[in-house]
Structure 1
Amino acid sequence: MPTRILPAVGDADAVRAITTLLSQLPDAEPVAPVTDSTQLIDTLARLAAESVDELPEVVVVHERIGPVPALELIREVALRFPAVGVILVTSDASPGLFQAAMDYGARGLVALPLSYEELASRVQAVASWSAGVRRHLGGALEVFTGVGGTVVTVSGAKGGVGTTLVSIQLALAAQASGRSTALLDMDLQTGDLAAYLDVQFRRSVVDLAAITDITPRVLADAVFRHDTGVALLLAPGDGERGEEVTDRAARQIVSALRSRYEIVIVDCGAQLSGAGAAAVEMADTALLVTTPDVVAVRGAKRVVRMWDRLQIRKAEETTVVVNRHTRGTEIQPPLIQKITGTALAATAVPANYKELQGVVDAGRLHELDSKSTVKQALWTLAGELGLVKAVEVDRRAGRGSFRRRKDGGG
């Protein structure tokens, strides 16, 4: 049976070189190449939706594929399409990169400039591996056919500005509208999602830190399913263990969640760690929460500049959310936007701690009254960010609740 090979190459010259060599391999059936990471995932998802048997045995990923870096792309393919073997084509054939590629899920590496013999040998070996996996798993083969979830990070300009409140309510809004939602506590030293949601669970994000192959089963064992339906991946109870979550581990964990849930909310807290920086860099939307006071706004400006210097996130790619807003304060959202140079969420969250005090003290923030102006604002923000399905507000239950449209929308 011919080996189906899907090249994923962004550079036109490289496309011609690779497809020419692939077409010369014995029993090879090269398919039309894809030119970027999004097209690759979409193509594999479409084929998997038809049948697992439609998936190619081998995917050849060029090092400059983009926009998602090659190693991260390999990780996503390995997670979502576990019987597809991936070969990385790279100009760096060092032992370090080879080990990294294997850690991310590649089945082989071929050095540039391409050699017919080396490419043929790798393709044959990977095709044999893929065929063996499919025979072994048979009908039990699990494939992620979704297009990949939306990741939103929530960071604080300084401590105490409300990142956890924002994270929880965004996740609850997304889940309530019918989207499968995960909430990840990446505030590794001081994260307290569990305390706010009345949860006692011994597993945490640390349990995934040393695992190079986060399968759906492994992920499910680490995640706690809250009564609201939101999947929680908690910070460690012992803060010093947070150091075990490296930036590489964070990328793998966020990718694993993204492949299983439509919406992934990441509470990054106010302290920048390597893991938190990796999450912010990967995010579709990066929120920076501030309060309308001089100290917090200075902190927001400092965070934005630091992200830019470290090439984590550009200012214009960051969205500031103003929490505890009042009309009478001297510092209004437009001024904060001007100071930070960021985008600005249209929805500001009002200052009304009396609404929050009871549920915060009880550790049951998920029971915040639907009539609460704070909840209404945060659920409106979720809609503004595109985190909820097409729904309309149920005004009888309060603006903080969703119900399905009668016309079937969403």
Structure 2
Amino acid sequence: MTTRILPAVGDPDAARSVTTLLSQLPDAEPAPPVADSTQLVDTLARLAAASLDELPEVVLVHERIGPVPALELVREVALRFPAVGVVLITADASPVLFSAAMDSGARGLVTLPLGYEELASRVQTAAQWSAGVRRHLGSGPDQAAGPGGTVVTVSGAKGGVGTTVAAVHLALAARASGRSVALVDMDLQSGDVASYLDVQFRRSVADLAAITDISPRVLQDAVYVHETGLSLLLSPAEGERGEEVTDRAARQVVSALRGRHEVVVVDCGSRLDGANAAVIEMADTALLVTTPDVVAVRAAKRTVRMWERLQVRKAEETITLVNRQHRSSEIQPPLVQKITGTRVAGVSVPAHFKELQAVVDAGRLHELDAKSTVKQALWSLAGELGLVRAAQAAGRPGKQLARSGTDRGSLGLRRRTGGR
């Protein structure tokens, strides 16, 4: 049987050495090396979306890969692509690192400098393990064989541009189309998702930060199931606890959620920290919200440039949403696209705050009327981003989905008030 191998090696000299040895292995089909963690995960996601059979049997992760640290990358690949055997290449052969690599999900460890016999043995072992997992995954239709759910991050160019409203309604639109949806408040110091949805819940994302292996039961205990059907993972009530959520913890939490939901929407707020940066980097779609004014657009440009400098996200991989747009605004979406270098969403959200004021003040954002132009725009955006099922996205998605959401909200209100 041919073993397909995908090396993830950032250093050019190390990449040549790995490629040379892999070409000598019998029945091996090595792919060209990928240079960083983002490229590796994107490549695997694209292959998995086509078919489980398209994935390589073995992935080699070099210790100096970046920007995500090697062990965290091993953990992410193992969680998202369980049918792939991951082997870590490292100069550290200590028992401590070996144990850490196994805990992260690696199927083997190869020490530097590379030797043919050791590499061949580890690759063969990982390939055999991968073949066994694939036989198991193919035995039943309910087994998860793909890359997991879609992760969308929603970030604000600055405070007050409507980030949370956008995140909540993207999640509601996806849920109304029949998808299982998790909404995460990763604005760790000042998140408002709970206030917008009238929720009081003592568990938060900070409670998962110190857990190294998030089981389904642990995740269930931390998640609040809202009356709309959304699974909410809230920010801590005590803002200082946000510091407990490291970039590693954020990755693990979101990976666990995407393994159990078709869509994961993450409200990242307007402040960039290690946790938010990690989630934005791993997201399938990164949405940046701005308003059509000079201060906000300049802030959006600064944010995009900062993401690029920190290797979090490239400008061309970012989608900008223009909120509170008006035909008389001097700054129109094409200018925002030119200034930021991002792709501007085809949908702009109109400047009709009066439609929102009553439900925002009541903490019932999910009961926004279907006739609201703000809701229709945001739910149409959900269709543009591929968050709703195809059947619902056809035709006029904003009005179709908004109507279904309002019907549910009105029914819930009648039940609470005893009306008919």
Q: What SS does structure 2 have at the residue aligned with 1:148?
A: coil
Q: CA 1:396–1:46 in structure 2 vs 1: closer, same or farther (change >3 Å)?
A: closer
Asked if structure 2 preserves the Cα contact closer than 8 Å seen for 1:184 and 1:234, the reply is yes
| 1:105 to partner: Cα distance | 2.6
**How high is the TM-score relative to the length of structure 1?**
0.78
Aligned residues: 383
Q: What SS does structure 2 have at the residue aligned with 1:9?
A: strand
Residue 400 (structure 1) aligns with = 402
Residue 256 (structure 2) aligns with = 256
Residue 365 (structure 1) aligns with = 365
Q: What SS does structure 1 have at the residue aligned with 2:78?
A: helix
Asked if structure 2 preserves the Cα contact closer than 8 Å seen for 1:5 and 1:31, the reply is yes
| 1:65 to partner: Cα distance | 8.8
Q: Which runs of 5+ in 1 are unaligned?
A: 24-29, 50-54, 134-138, 404-410
- Residues 129-158 of structure 1: CA distance to partner in whole angstroms, max 9, x if unpaired? 999x9xxxxx99x95323322221111111
Q: 1:9 aligns with which of 3, 7, 10?
A: 7
**Distance in 1 (alpha carbons) for counterparts of 2:290 and 2:121:** 55
Asked if structure 1 preserves the Cα contact closer than 8 Å seen for 2:383 and 2:397, the reply is no
> Equivalent residues in 2 for 1:8-157 (5 A)?
8-9=6-7, 14=18, 17-18=21-22, 37=40, 59=58, 61-63=60-62, 71-79=71-79, 86-91=86-91, 101-102=101-102, 104-115=104-115, 118=118, 144-157=144-157
Asked if structure 2 preserves the Cα contact closer than 8 Å seen for 1:144 and 1:260, the reply is no
| 1:187 to partner: Cα distance | 0.2
Q: CA 1:31–1:76 in structure 2 vs 1: closer, same or farther (change >3 Å)?
A: farther
Q: Percent of counterpart pairs with the same letter? A: 66
**Distance in 1 (alpha carbons) for counterparts of 2:337 and 2:83:** 47
| 1:325 to partner: Cα distance | 1.1
Residue 160 (structure 1) aligns with = 160
Deviation larger for 331-340 or 98-107: 98-107
Asked if structure 2 preserves the Cα contact closer than 8 Å seen for 1:34 and 1:40, the reply is no
Letter in 2 for 1:344: V
Q: What SS does structure 2 have at the residue aligned with 1:212?
A: coil
Residue 385 (structure 2) aligns with = 385
Residue 218 (structure 2) aligns with = 218
Q: Which runs of 5+ in 2 are unaligned?
A: 9-14, 35-39, 134-138, 406-420
> Equivalent residues in 2 for 1:148-227 (5 A)?
148-227=148-227
| 1:164 to partner: Cα distance | 0.3
Q: What SS does structure 1 have at the residue aligned with 2:402?
A: coil
| 1:48 to partner: Cα distance | 7.8
**How high is the TM-score relative to the length of structure 2?**
0.76
Letter in 2 for 1:310: L
Q: What SS does structure 2 have at the residue aligned with 1:189?
A: coil
Letter in 2 for 1:377: A
Residue 376 (structure 1) aligns with = 376
Q: CA 1:153–1:82 in structure 2 vs 1: closer, same or farther (change >3 Å)?
A: closer
**Distance in 1 (alpha carbons) for counterparts of 2:111 and 2:307:** 34
Letter in 1 for 2:402: G
Deviation larger for 88-97 or 300-309: 88-97
Letter in 2 for 1:342: T
